[in-house]
Amino acid sequence: MNSILRDHSALPDRWHRLIANPFFWPAVAGAGLLFCIAASVLGFLDLYLQLILIYVGINIILTVSLNLINGYMGEFSVGHAGFMATGAYVASLLTIRIFPSGISDLFFPLAIFAGGVAAAIIGLLVAIPSFKTRGDYLAIVTLAFCMIVKSVLENIDAVGGPRGLLGMEKLTTLPWVFFWAALTVWVIRNLVFSNFGRGVLSIREDEIASDLMSVNTRQVKVIAFVVSSFFAGVAGGLYAHALQFINPKMFDIIKSTDILIMVYLGGIASIAGSIIGAIIFTILLEILRPLGVWRMVIMPLLLVLLMICRPSGIMGLRESRLFFPLRDLVTERLWRKRKKENGDAPA
Amino acid sequence: MAYIFQQALNALQLGSIYALIALGYTMVYGILTMINFAHGDMFMIGAFFCFMLSAWLKQSFIPALLLSMLGVACLGVIIERLAYKPLRNAPRVSAIITALGVGLFLENFTLALSPYPKNIPALVSNTAWKLGSLSLSSLQVIIIVLSVVLMMVLDFIVQHTKTGMAMRAISWDRTVVPLMGVPVNRIISMTFALGAGLGGAAGMMYGLAYPVIDYSMGIMIGWKAFISAVVGGIGNIRGAMIGGFILGSVEIMTAAFLPSTYRDFVAFTLLLALLIVRPYGILGTPHPQKV
C-alpha cells in the first residue's frame, strides 16, 4: 500500500497527478493571495466588486465552519450568528478601545484571532448541553444561545446597547479575507479527513455505535463546536471591520437562517458544496439587486424549487475530487480496478 | 397584589396566543416529525387576512375570524401540497430548509405588496370593566375565552373523532397506518389545515390586541411559539398549550418586575435551564435509543 502511495504514476490521469503534487495547493493559495493583494493595492477591481468578494469570503468562512457541525456531525445548529456576534464585538472593541489607533492594522489579525477565541469559549459552553440533548432539542439550545447573546449585547450599554457599535476603521481587506477563508478551508478539510474527522462522521451516522467503537464522542463534540465557533467569530470580526458598524439586530436568527440556507443549498458534508453555496447565494443576491424587494421573493422560491428537485443540495454529501486526500483517491482507484477484474467481489 | 393579578391577566392573554401558534408546530411535528418553520408566517398572514376583511370588505368580528381562519387553513394545505409533499421521503433537514424558504417567501411577498405597517380597525368595542382595583377589557376576555374554546375544540377533534384517531395513529406509526386503510395524505392535509387555521386565529387576535401589523411580526413570535412547543414536549398537544402559557407568563412577569429589555434574556435562560433538567419537555416522553 505504502509503495503505491509514493508511486504517483499509479494515479488515473494528469488531473489527479496535478492535485497529488504537494506544491499544488500552496501554489493555488499563493496565486489567489497575490491576486487579492494586487486587486486591492493596484485597484484593478473596483471597490464594489472588492466588497462583493469580501462578502463571498466571509460567507465561505461561515458556511464551511457551520458545515462541520450541521453537515459532518449531523446536528442542527441554528446559533451560528451568535458566535459571529461574539467575534464581531470582541474584535471591534479591541481595535476601537484597546489597541493604539495609529497602527491598528498591525494589530488587526490579533484582534480577529481574539474574536475567534472569544467565540470559541462560547462554543465550548454550547457543546456541554450537546452531550445529552440531540436533534431538535439541541437546535433549540443553540437557538436560545443565539438569542441570549443578542439580548445580552442589547443590555450592555458600554458596547452601545441596541444602538450598536461605531468607529471601526475599514481594516478588512480582500487579502485578509482570502487568508482567513483559505485557512478555514484548510483546517476544516484536514480535520474532516483526519482520524478525528472519522469520529465526527461516526457521530452523524450513529452516536451510540460510535461510542461503543470507543470514539470519545464528548471530546469530538467539544472540539467540533470549538473549531466551528472559532471560525464563526473570525468571520464576525471581519464582517464588523468591513461594514464599520455593528448592532445586535444584525446577528439575530435571520442571519443564522441565511447561513443555514447557504450550507444546505451547497449540500451538507461537502466543503466544495459549502464554497459553491456561499458563492451562488451571495452573487445571486447581488445580481438580482435591480429587482428591489422582489429579489427576496424570488430567492426563497428558487431555494424551495432546488430543494424539491435536489433535496440534498447542489453537492449533497459528495465531495469534489480536489479536496480528497491522495490516499483515498488511490484506494478508490484500486478498488475500481479490482472490481473490474474480480467482478462482484472486489477485496 | 392587584398588580400581580393584572399581570397574570396579561400573561394569560399573551400565553393563549403563544399556545394557539404552538399547537400548529406541535401537530405537524407529531405527524411528520418535521418542524414547519413557515408557521410563524401563517400567523402573520392571518393578521393580514383579518386586516383585508375588516378594513376593505367591512366585515364584522365573527365573519372576519372565520374567513381568515379558513383562508390561512387553505394556504397551509396549498403549501403542504406544493412544497412539503414532494419532500416527504427526503432527508429531514431538506424539509426544514424548505420550510425556512417558504417562510422567507411569505414574509417578503407580504413586504413587497404592503411595505408599510397596517392598522387593523377595532372590530370589538373595547370596554374596560373594573373589578376592585383590577381592570379587565372586553378584548382581553374575548381573546382568552376564544382561545380556550378553540383549544377545547381541537382537543375534542384529536381525542374523540375518527380524523383525530387517524392523526394519533399516524404519529404512532406511519408505515403501518396506510395498510389499515387510513387515507394518510388527506389526514396530513387536515392536520396542516387545523394547525394553520389556529395560527390564523392567533394572528387575528394578536392584531386586535396590538393593532399595528407588518410583514415581520411572525418571525419572533413564531420562534417563541416553537420554543413553547418544545418546553411542553414537542409532538404533545396538551404540552404545547401548557408551554404557551408558561412562556407567556415568564415573559410578562419579567417585564413586570425587571427592565423590559431583559425579557428575552430571562425567557431563554429559563428555557435552557429547563432543557437541561428535562431534555424532552414537560409532557414529552423520552425516546430511549435502541441499539
Q: What is the pLDDT of residues A225-242, one digit of tens each?
A: 999 999 999 999 999 999
Q: Of B266, B247, B255, whose CA–CA distance to B7 is shortest? A: B255
Cα A95 to Cα A101: distance, rounded to the nearest angstrom: 7
- Which sign, positive or negative, has the C-alpha torsion B167, B168, B173, B177? negative
Alpha helix (H) residue ranges in chain B: 2-32, 39-51, 61-79, 92-113, 138-160, 162-172, 184-209, 217-232, 237-257, 263-277
Inside any domain, residue A7: no
CB atoms within 10 A of CB B165: 14
Q: What is the mean pLDDT of chain A?
A: 86
pLDDT at A158: 85
Cα A270 to Cα A263: distance, rounded to the nearest angstrom: 9
Which triple of cell numbers denotes residue A216?
A: 470519545
Average pLDDT over residues B84-100: 86
Q: How high is the ipTM of this complex?
A: 0.84
Which triple of cell numbers denotes residue A33?
A: 493571495
Which triple of cell numbers denotes residue B70?
A: 379558513
Inside any domain, residue B166: yes
Inside any domain, residue B127: no
pLDDT at A4: 44
Residue A268: half-sphere exposure toward Cβ, Cα within 13 Å: 22
Cα A342 to Cα B109: distance, rounded to the nearest angstrom: 58
| Residue B137 main-chain phi, psi, to 5 deg | -95, 155
| Residue A141 main-chain phi, psi, to 5 deg | -60, -45
Nearest to B223 among A143, A212, A297 (CB): A143
pLDDT at A303: 86
For the cut 50, the answer to whether the pLDDT of residue B2 exceeds it is yes
Q: What is the reported pTM? A: 0.86
Inside any domain, residue B45: yes
Q: Which residues of B247-267 are buried (b: 16+ CB within 10 A; e: fewer)?
A: bbbbbbbbbbeeeeebbbbbb
Does residue B96 belong to the interface with chain A, where contact is any CB pair within 8 Å?
yes
Cα A312 to Cα B233: distance, rounded to the nearest angstrom: 29
Nearest to B109 among A261, A297, A313 (CB): A297
pLDDT at B202: 94
Inside any domain, residue A235: yes
B-proximal residues of A, 106-145, CB under 8 Å: 129, 132-133, 136-137, 139-141, 143-145
For the cut 70, the answer to whether the pLDDT of residue B130 exceeds it is yes
Number of structural domains found in chain B: 1
CATH classification of the domain holding B68: 1.10.3470
DSSP letter (8 states) at residue A81? H
User: Which residues on adjacent β-strands are paired with residue B131?
Assistant: B134
Query: If DSSP codes are grouped into helix, strand and coil, which group holds residue B213?
Result: strand
- If you count them, how many residues does chain A have? 347
Nearest to A136 among B35, B112, B272 (CB): B35
Inside any domain, residue B184: yes
Inside any domain, residue B255: yes
Inside any domain, residue A150: yes
Inside any domain, residue A148: yes
Contacts of B291 in chain A (CB under 8 A): 208-209, 212
Number of structural domains found in chain A: 1
Q: How far is CA A333 from the centre of its chain?
A: 30
Average pLDDT over residues A190-210: 89
Inside any domain, residue B129: no
Local confidence band at B209 (pLDDT 50, 70, 90 cut-offs): confident
Point out the least confidently predicted range of A142-151, A313-322, B57-66, B116-125. A313-322
The amino acid that residue B171 corresponds to is S
Per-residue pLDDT tens for B4-21? 888 888 899 999 999 999
- The continuous run of DSSP H or E covering A164 comes out as none
Cα A99 to Cα B233: distance, rounded to the nearest angstrom: 48
- Which sign, positive or negative, has the C-alpha torsion A77, A79, A84, A86? negative
For the cut 80, the answer to whether the pLDDT of residue B107 exceeds it is yes
Nearest to B271 among A144, A155, A212 (CB): A144
Inside any domain, residue B286: no
Contacts of B86 in chain A (CB under 8 A): 308
Q: CB–CB of A312 and B90 under 8 A?
A: yes
Per-residue pLDDT tens for A163-180? 888 888 888 889 999 999
Q: CB–CB of B234 and A136 under 8 A?
A: yes
Question: CA torsion, points B158, B160, B162, B168, in degrees to nearest 10?
Answer: 40
Q: Which domain holds residue B145?
A: 2-114+137-277
CB atoms within 10 A of CB A334: 14
Residue pair A124/A226 in contact by the 8 Å Cβ criterion:
yes
Q: CB–CB of A304 and B264 under 8 A?
A: no
Cα B95 to Cα B204: distance, rounded to the nearest angstrom: 28
Q: Of A110, A92, A105, A119, whose CA–CA distance to A237 is shortest? A: A92
Inside any domain, residue B262: yes
The owner of cell 404545547 is: B240
Q: Which domain holds residue A151?
A: 45-254
Residue A92: half-sphere exposure toward Cβ, Cα within 13 Å: 29
Q: Of A79, A87, A223, A83, whose CA–CA distance to A142 is shortest? A: A79
